[in-house]
Amino acid sequence: MRKINKIIFHCSATKEGQAFTVKDIDRWHKERGWKGIGYHFVIYLDGSVHSGRPVEEIGAHTLNHNSNSIGVCYIGGLDTNGKAKDTRTPAQLRAMEKMVNEFKVKYPNATFHGHNEFANKACPCFDVRNWVKTVE
């Protein structure tokens, strides 16, 4: 198993309320020339958590930070006009809180980040570090 020391949150950069799946993201990433979905987990609008790339495999989600991280993507991140916005549904928030608590146990030395900390992007359209401090 890889040594995990970062959990990196992403958004799918899709408009709020639009439902997409792991299969959609897998197709998008293959269209970019990747071997498949780069995220390890995807959180749907209803809060259900779906597996993407196996955690044992290096992801393809954050340049220069894939080998030691897990990538988590929630569906959304844009308002209806296509502007960056925290569009997490209450169900997505609950699922993410549960994931954070599980990751804290499974990977006690891991830190939590937003993609925007490593790239000039708005993704995931919320402040991960401050949000994680509120998760109990």
Active-site residue, selected from the candidate residues 15, 50, 104, 121: 121
Of 6, 44, 73, 123, which is the active-site residue? 123
Q: Is 123 a catalytic residue?
A: yes
Exactly one of 29, 40, 61, 115 is catalytic; name it: 115
Exposure string over 99-132, b if 16+ CB within 10 A, otherwise e: bbeebeeebeebebbbbbbbeebbbbbbebeebb
Q: Which of 6, 10, 40, 61 is catalytic?
A: 10
Give catalytic status of residue 121 as yes or no: yes
- Is 106 one of the catalytic residues? no
* Catalytic-residue membership of 73: no
Cis peptide bond N-terminal to 90, omega within 30: no
Q: Which residues are catalytic?
A: 10, 39, 115, 121, 123
